[in-house]
Chains A and B, each alone.
Chain A
Amino acid sequence: MSEAALRFERVTRTFGRKIAVDALDLSVERGTVLGMIGRNGAGKTTSLRLAIGTLFPDAGRIRVLGLDPETDAMQVRTRVSLLSEESHLYPWMTVREVLAFGAALHPRWDPKLAKSLVGRLELDLGQLVRTLSRGTKAKVALVLGVATRPDLLLLDDPTAGLDPLVRREVLRGVLDGVSDEGGAVVYASHLIHDVERVADRVAILDEGRLRLEDSLERLKADVRRVTAVFEGDAPGRVDIPGQLDAVSDGRVLHLVARGEVAQLESRARSLGAREVEIEPLSLEEILVACLRQRVEREVEHV
């Protein structure tokens, strides 16, 4: 039980000339929820598919619950579930048949949990999959994914495009399904508020690389917005320790940086700022600050 739920060591995966995942180091401890955020194409889906072993890396090492998804594929598939935005369910089956199929295939199927989820999600067992709405399909996929009591549950934006009530129920099902014995979750999503709710740790991915990884609470406690007002024009270029983003506009400099309040204030003052205001940030604002800096670097290189 000592191995991490998931560990990536300098994992790289390319598709033709596109580098989807680039020397990625990532670690998810047991009993924790890692929120994975970033833009489209940042490498989230590829990372999750590498973790469950439907894709293999070009370089680097992956361990899932101490196992190698390439050589211990059966074991990994038994103990890990992946829930995606698009669920693949046989359209000609009824919900009951889909679940019976899942139960028959899976040695760790928990019929009690399946039953309680079916009740809570108000699923109609007699309905044909092809007649189900998108939200209902997502619920069926959820039951399939968590009734196996996975030790590692991988979520690839499973609630994207669903209405808020279904989203809530799916998120509840996820939290209910995680194994009590150190079950871990990787939750990749664009719904930052949901990530901010359920994650212990957050990984920000960008262009296949890890931009930032930390405890969500620490991140929110350490990263601050500094608004510095200058007598004349604010400096155009600044680079203070811990800086994630800097934009100057007239006499105002907006900084996003990690650091203690007193530290950040004295740094802003040493740049010549007259007024300094320091505020906390939400995860979404932290993400935007991380990604904007990259966009600006790119512009410079042109």
Chain B
Amino acid sequence: MTIEPLIEIDPTSPVALYLQISEQFRRLIALRALQPGDRLPTVRDLAVQVRVNRNTAARAIQHLESEGLVMTRVGRGTFVERSAVPVDRARRDRVVDRAIERLLVEARTVGLPLAELGERVARAVERLQRHGPPGEGSDGGKREQKK
């Protein structure tokens, strides 16, 4: 499949390119643009289409494998796993919206400017993409920003 227009990466971002690519695949799977049983491009094709080196493309696919989203069958290719079906979107959005609601109330209570809240969330997302959930990575990126 032609994956190129669907995968957007930002080379200037501090998030490693392979993680950006695997995040985009995760998004495509969540959107059901990629469905269980669909075949992913080969490492070489992925590299050529997204314009990254092959090592980056290979790591992106390995990352998806390690997360159980895809499975490589030797000689046949890499396929989206059956278990990669995302949770129901409406339910997912409700859960996240409720959590955001709580966060906003808390922030207002302690007097945090809302603009700063947005910034902090963006940074937290970046840290998560770089280091994985807190407690998993080396320093967990916990101290990336300290005042």
Q: Which residues of A contact B (CB under 8 A)?
A: 31-33, 168, 171-172, 175-176, 178, 180, 185, 193-194, 196-200, 217, 220-221, 260-262, 265, 275-284
A residues within 8 A CB of B11?
193-194, 196-197, 283
- Whether B139 pairs with A32 at a CB distance below 8 angstroms is no
A33–B47 alpha-carbon span in the complex (Å): 12
Shortest C-beta distance, A121 to chain B (Å), equals 13
A99–B146 alpha-carbon span in the complex (Å): 59
A277–B119 alpha-carbon span in the complex (Å): 14
**Among the listed A32, A172, A275, A283, which residue makes an inter-chain contact with B48, where contact means beta carbons less than 8 Å apart?**
A172
Shortest C-beta distance, B4 to chain A (Å), equals 9
Q: A196-B12, A197-B17 are in contact. Are A176 and B55 (CB under 8 A)?
A: no
- Whether A265 pairs with B53 at a CB distance below 8 angstroms is no
**Among the listed A180, A198, A221, A276, which residue makes an inter-chain contact with B51, where contact means beta carbons less than 8 Å apart?**
A198
Considering the complex, give the chain A residue whose CB is closest to the CB of B126.
Answer: A280
- Whether A220 pairs with B14 at a CB distance below 8 angstroms is yes
Considering the complex, give the chain B residue whose CB is closest to the CB of A229.
Answer: B147
**Among the listed B16, B56, B143, which residue makes an inter-chain contact with A265, where contact means beta carbons less than 8 Å apart?**
B143
The interface centre, meaning the residue of A168, A220, A281 with most chain B CB atoms within 10 A of its CB, is A220
Shortest C-beta distance, B103 to chain A (Å), equals 23
B residues within 8 A CB of A33?
53
A176–B9 alpha-carbon span in the complex (Å): 19
B32 at the interface (CB under 8 A from A): no
B83 at the interface (CB under 8 A from A): no
Instruction: List 29 contacting pairs A-B, 8 Å CB cutoff, sorted by A.
Output: A31-B55, A32-B53, A32-B55, A171-B51, A172-B49, A175-B52, A185-B53, A193-B11, A194-B11, A196-B11, A196-B12, A197-B9, A197-B17, A197-B51, A197-B52, A198-B51, A198-B53, A217-B16, A217-B17, A220-B16, A260-B139, A261-B139, A261-B141, A262-B143, A265-B143, A276-B146, A277-B147, A280-B14, A283-B11
Considering the complex, give the chain A residue whose CB is closest to the CB of B131.
Answer: A221
- Whether B144 pairs with A275 at a CB distance below 8 angstroms is no
- Whether B53 pairs with A199 at a CB distance below 8 angstroms is yes
B120 at the interface (CB under 8 A from A): no
B44 at the interface (CB under 8 A from A): yes
B residues within 8 A CB of A217?
16-17
A262–B51 alpha-carbon span in the complex (Å): 35
Considering the complex, give the chain A residue whose CB is closest to the CB of B53.
Answer: A33
B66 at the interface (CB under 8 A from A): no
The binding surface of chain B is classed by DSSP as loop
Shortest C-beta distance, A67 to chain B (Å), equals 24
Contact with A along B50-69 (1 / 0, CB 8 A): 01111110000000000000
- Whether A221 pairs with B14 at a CB distance below 8 angstroms is yes
- Whether A278 pairs with B145 at a CB distance below 8 angstroms is yes
Give me 15 other A-B pairs in contact (C-beta within 8 A), A178-B54, A276-B146, A277-B145 excluded.
A175-B47, A176-B48, A180-B44, A193-B11, A193-B12, A217-B16, A220-B14, A221-B16, A261-B139, A265-B143, A265-B146, A276-B147, A278-B146, A282-B14, A284-B12
Considering the complex, give the chain A residue whose CB is closest to the CB of B57.
Answer: A175
A151–B146 alpha-carbon span in the complex (Å): 47
Considering the complex, give the chain B residue whose CB is closest to the CB of A281.
Answer: B14
B residues within 8 A CB of A260?
139
- Whether B55 pairs with A282 at a CB distance below 8 angstroms is no
- Whether A283 pairs with B139 at a CB distance below 8 angstroms is no
B residues within 8 A CB of A194?
11, 51
Shortest C-beta distance, B31 to chain A (Å), equals 24
Shortest C-beta distance, B140 to chain A (Å), equals 11
A276–B44 alpha-carbon span in the complex (Å): 43
Which 6 A-B residue pairings sit nearest by Cβ, starting from the closest? A280-B14, A196-B11, A282-B12, A197-B11, A33-B53, A176-B48
Q: A261-B139, A261-B143 are in contact. Are A200 and B53 (CB under 8 A)?
A: yes
- Whether A175 pairs with B143 at a CB distance below 8 angstroms is no
Shortest C-beta distance, B130 to chain A (Å), equals 8
**Among the listed A172, A200, A278, A281, which residue makes an inter-chain contact with B144, where contact means beta carbons less than 8 Å apart?**
A278
Shortest C-beta distance, A217 to chain B (Å), equals 5
A residues within 8 A CB of B52?
175, 197-198
A residues within 8 A CB of B53?
32-33, 175, 185, 198-200
